[in-house]
Structure 1
Amino acid sequence: MTTNQNNTTVTDDLTLYGLFALFLRNWLILTVSGFSFAILALVWSLGQPNIYTAKTLLMPAGDDSGGLGGLAGSLGGLAAVAGVSLPEGKTDNTKLALELIETQVFLGEFIEENDLVLPIMAAEGWDEASNKLIIDPEKYDEATSTWVRKPKAPRKVIPSTQETYEELKKLISVEQDPKSKFVTISVDFYSPYLAAKWVDGLVEKLNESIRLRDKQEATESITYLEKLSQDSNVQGLRSTFSSLMEEQIKSRMLAEVRKDYVFKIVDPAVVPELKSKPKRSIIVVVAGFIGGIIGIIIVLFRSGRKAYLASN
Structure 2
Amino acid sequence: MTQYEVLNPQQQDDEIDLRELFATLWAGKWLIIAVTFLFAAGGVAYALYKPNIYQASVLLAPANEENGMGGISGQLGGLASLAGINIGGGSSNQTVIAKEVLRSRAFLADFIDRHNLAVPLMAVEGWSIKQSDWQYNREVYNPETGQWLPDENGKSQQPTDWDLVKAFKQNHLSISENKENGMVTFSVKSLSPPAAQQWAQWLVEDINEHMRRQDVAEAEARINYLENKLTDTNIAGMQQVFYQLIESETRTVMLANAQQEYVFKTIDPAVVPQEKSEPKRALIAILATMLGGMLGVFIVFIRAFFKGTREA
Q: TM-score range by the shorter chain?
A: 0.7 to 0.9
Deviation at 1:137, TM superposition (A): 1.1
Are residues 17 and 203 of structure 1, via their aligned partners in 2, closer, same or farther at CA, if it must alter by over 3 Å?
A: farther
Contact 1:120 1:167 in 2 (8 A): yes
Letter in 1 for 2:134: L
Q: Report what 2:156 is aligned to.
A: 156
Matching of residue 124 in structure 1 with residue 121 in structure 2: no
Q: What SS is found at the alignment partner of 1:101?
A: helix
* Superposition TM-score, scaled by structure 1 size: 0.85
Give the whole-Å Cα distance in 1 for the aligned partners of 2:250 and 2:272.
40
Letter in 2 for 1:178: K
Aligned residues: 295
Q: Report what 2:9 is aligned to.
A: none
The 10-residue stretch of structure 1 (221-230 or 53-62) with the greater mean CA deviation from structure 2: 221-230
Q: Report what 2:84 is aligned to.
A: 87
Are residues 72 and 89 of structure 1, via their aligned partners in 2, closer, same or farther at CA, if it must alter by over 3 Å?
A: farther
Letter in 2 for 1:164: L
Deviation at 1:228, TM superposition (A): 2.7
Q: Report what 1:221 is aligned to.
A: 222
Q: What SS is found at the alignment partner of 2:110?
A: helix
Are residues 143 and 250 of structure 1, via their aligned partners in 2, closer, same or farther at CA, if it must alter by over 3 Å?
A: closer
Contact 2:85 2:222 in 1 (8 A): no
Over the residues paired in the alignment, what is the CA RMSD in angstroms?
Answer: 2.6
Identity of aligned residues (%): 34
Q: Report what 2:280 is aligned to.
A: 279
Instruction: Structure 2: state its 5+ residue gaps.
Output: 1-12
Q: Report what 2:5 is aligned to.
A: none
2:50 to 48, 51, 69: 48
Q: Report what 1:135 is aligned to.
A: 136
* Superposition TM-score, scaled by structure 2 size: 0.85
Instruction: Structure 1: state its 5+ residue gaps.
Output: 1-10
Q: What SS is found at the alignment partner of 1:264?
A: strand
Q: What SS is found at the alignment partner of 1:126?
A: strand
Letter in 1 for 2:156: K
Letter in 1 for 2:95: T
Give the whole-Å Cα distance in 2 for the aligned partners of 1:18 and 1:64.
77
Give the whole-Å Cα distance in 2 for the aligned partners of 1:146 and 1:216.
38
Summarize deviations over 1:63-116 as a string: whole Å, max 9, x none: 41323x787933267x59xxx933241762212211111223212222222111
Q: What SS is found at the alignment partner of 1:55?
A: strand
Are residues 231 and 121 of structure 1, via their aligned partners in 2, closer, same or farther at CA, if it must alter by over 3 Å?
A: same
Are residues 142 and 227 of structure 1, via their aligned partners in 2, closer, same or farther at CA, if it must alter by over 3 Å?
A: closer
Deviation at 1:39, TM superposition (A): 0.9
Letter in 2 for 1:173: S
